[in-house]
Amino acid sequence: MRTRYGCVSLAFLVVSAAFGQTVPPKQNNNEGGVETARSGSLPVKKVVLYKNGVGYFEHTGQVRGNQELGIQFTTAQLNDVLKSLTLVDLNGGRISAVRYNSVAPLSEQLKSLQIPLGEEVSSATFLTALRGTRVEVKSGATGAMGKVFSVETVEKETAKGGTVNATQLAIVTDTGELRLFEIGPGVSVRAAEREIHKDVDRYLNLMGSTRSKDVRRVTITASGPGERNVFVSYISEVPVWKSTYRIVLPKAPGKPFLQGWAIVDNTVGEDWKDVRLTLVSGTPQSFIQNISQPYYTRRPVVPLPESVMLTPQAHEATMEEGGKLMSPRAIVGGVAGRVPGGVAGGSMGGVIGGVIGAPPPKPTGAEEEPIENEVVETLSSEVAEAESKLVGDLFEYDLKEKITLLKNQSALVPIVQSPIEAEKVTLVTATGSADIEESPRRALWLRNTSGETLDGGTFNILEQDSFAGEGIMDMVHPGERRLLSYAADKAVHVARGDEGGARTTTRVTIVKGMMTIYREQRDVTTYTIRNADSAPRQVIVEHPIRSGWKLTGSAKPEESGATHYRFRVAVQPGKTEKLTIEEGRPEASRINVSGLSDAQVTTYAQEGTVRAPLDASLRKIIAKRSEVSDIEQQIKAKQLEREAIDRDQARLRENMKALRGSAEEKALLQRYTKQLDAQEDQLATLQKQTEDLKAKRAALQAGLDAMVMEIQIDERM
């Protein structure tokens, strides 16, 4: 048998609707002999609530023949419904139509009025809007009929010599006379035209409609023969469901008990009767888009063409990005649960000390722990009313029984009932500075042995038949361990001392002329813990994890978080214990051996970075490098001499060009020639000396390089 679907884009999550109509008498349809019913009801059968403030609703029911189903929403709900509504008429039927009452925005409806009035109107703007229309103005015993000419604000002198602003109305009478009236309590203005009366009345009705109940009715038409099943689903905005837990601490050697509840609110305007409820801890993407309102795009204003032969061309368009949600994945399984009898979030007693494991043995004496043991035994025998399971990246609680929750009511729904492992400790958290973040706190070191994923929420601790404290916890996965602090511990006092700044060399290596010095900066932190109580304490010290630092001492953390190490310290009654944490931060510096200075080597020797044999080798390298440097200085000096001779020769040649051949000039020319010859001899000598120096430098540099490469050291301090 074929199933037909009528969809308006399937998205995610839950809504509210009002399917509450009674089924009227059947009517015979002469066309094809198919019975027609005007309306019917589809009760809510399934609700899935998510953590992002939306919910997914399913309605199912029967229809007969051609039948209309009416659903009422608010405008806000309708926006979600239109982008998620899914309709299925089973057993050969089909969804032939879906319609709803459309409401244009108020600003668009006001444009249809003859008088230009906006949403915010004063008496002056109202009179201005009446300009050009006939009015009757009465002021005491006088009055006049005419058309509104202007409305002005004028200054008026008071009896005490001051000024006030007054509204002045000007009308032109039928005889052409301009009459002025000051608007005040004794002045009345009446529109004399029937059309204006209608416009004013319509304006007031439109403004009044904005305060009326926001109801949008969706009508679904199902067509087909006989009785059929109809399925409707959609999403809508709903309150976020919340988690809250109770942890009952029995007397040792009893086992702690965890009781989890979900707070669910029904604000959708319809009763939930025998509904399957599923609670999903996750936030699928969802958004709000106002698609139920008519949308008006902005069009360009084109001036009149200069010639009737010209065709105007549009140069502007509105780019609106529409959006719709992806279809939600069907939630497998999931039946809702009814709040069972018994304890529903009340205060329960119990004590815990240390790690608590096996169930408590039954008392052997004549006297039993009265109510406390009964509560613990009752809790231990409870079975969880919800089943937790993963759904992709999310997880959900499927309540095992259906629930009934009337509209505008809330309920506590049980989701977890399980024994759990927990150890009572004192928690001390330190910051990166030399301070303790807070005073020591009582905490539970809890391991989730319930087999369920615990959604984040509030918790409170019940101990010694009374309330012991409360707190907030994040999501805890099965088998995960988590610290939950709930009260201050006034019996434990902690002081912190820091000894930092020490810096030691741990290793020196020289490979292929590159010296690497490995150092470690060391810090020592001491926590002094005093237990002033008569009972022992297991103190958990949270020491901050610093980037680049690592633990180097004998103290080992029991656990490491993302930001803190956690160290355990057992402190007996009236005793003081110390926790010493040693940390080191390694760092390395690289230096070219051939570039070391005498001062650097002296410093390294004094601080113990280099030992005597290496110190001697490095100083030989420095001496050899000094010889190379001396030769380089000599080469530079020879080069400067050559440059000076070159400049002088250039001067002489310029002078020789200016001589004309006289006796005196010939003598001067001979003199210049002798100087040039002498300088040429000098240049040749300098050239030879420079080449000799370069050869010597090359030999010294080769010796220096060989000395550097011969040093291969790996010393650990």
Please report the pLDDT score of residue 188 as a whole number: 87
Please report the pLDDT score of residue 319 as a whole number: 35
Top pLDDT among 36 and 406 is at: 406
| CATH number where 694 lies | 1.10.287
Does residue 622 fall inside a structural domain?
A: yes
Residue 582 sits in the same domain as residue 622: no
Kindly indicate the confidence band of residue 306, based on its pLDDT and cuts at 50, 70 and 90: low
Which pLDDT tens digit goes with each residue over 309-330?
A: 444 443 333 333 433 333 333 3
Mean pLDDT of the chain: 77
For residue 530, what are the CA distances in angstroms to 429, 535, 576? 15, 12, 4
Which pLDDT tens digit goes with each residue over 454-492?
A: 888 999 999 877 899 999 999 888 899 999 999 999 999
Range of 278-292, 653-667, 695-709 with top mean pLDDT: 695-709
Residue 549 sits in the same domain as residue 629: no
CA distance 428 to 493: 10
Does residue 365 fall inside a structural domain?
A: no
Residue 542 sits in the same domain as residue 643: no
432 CB burial (10 A radius; 0-12, 13-18, 19+): exposed
pLDDT at 190 over 70: yes
Please report the pLDDT score of residue 498 as a whole number: 83
The percent of residues in the chain predicted with pLDDT above 70, rounded, is 76
Please report the pLDDT score of residue 227 as a whole number: 85
Residue 613 sits in the same domain as residue 712: yes
Residue 609 sits in the same domain as residue 711: yes
Residue 659 sits in the same domain as residue 691: yes
Does residue 70 fall inside a structural domain?
A: no
Residue whose entry in the numeric block shows the structure tokens 């984040």: 456
Range list of H helices, 334-479: 371-381
Does residue 578 fall inside a structural domain?
A: yes
Buried-state track 119-154, b at ≥16 Cβ within 10 A, e below 16: eeeeeeeebbbbbebbbebebeeeebebbbeebeee
CB atoms within 10 A of CB 661: 7
Residues spanned by the domain of 572 = 491-595
Residue 620 sits in the same domain as residue 576: no
Please report the pLDDT score of residue 615 as a whole number: 87
Please report the pLDDT score of residue 297 as a whole number: 72
Please report the pLDDT score of residue 639 as a whole number: 92
Does residue 321 fall inside a structural domain?
A: no
pTM (predicted TM-score):
0.58
pLDDT at 405 over 80: yes
Does residue 535 fall inside a structural domain?
A: yes
Please report the pLDDT score of residue 565 as a whole number: 93
Please report the pLDDT score of residue 82 as a whole number: 85
Kindly indicate the confidence band of residue 39, based on its pLDDT and cuts at 50, 70 and 90: low
Residue 580 sits in the same domain as residue 649: no
| CATH number where 122 lies | 2.30.30.720
The domain boundary residue, chosen from 561, 595, 629 = 595
The domain boundary residue, chosen from 144, 175, 196 = 196
Task: Flag the least confident range among 265-274, 450-459, 528-537.
Answer: 265-274
Please report the pLDDT score of residue 113 as a whole number: 75
Please report the pLDDT score of residue 79 as a whole number: 81
Which pLDDT tens digit goes with each residue over 89-110?
A: 887 788 888 887 666 666 667 7
Residue 584 sits in the same domain as residue 610: no
Split into its structural domains, the chain has a count of 3
186: closest CA among 134, 142, 144, 124? 142
Residue 570 sits in the same domain as residue 655: no
Task: Flag the least confident range among 5-19, 382-396, 537-551.
Answer: 5-19
Does residue 272 fall inside a structural domain?
A: no
Residue 542 sits in the same domain as residue 613: no
Does residue 655 fall inside a structural domain?
A: yes
Residue 616 sits in the same domain as residue 688: yes
The domain boundary residue, chosen from 196, 211, 238 = 196
Please report the pLDDT score of residue 212 as a whole number: 54
Top pLDDT among 129 and 571 is at: 571
Which pLDDT tens digit goes with each residue over 613-638?
A: 888 888 888 888 888 999 999 999 99
| CATH number where 570 lies | 2.60.40
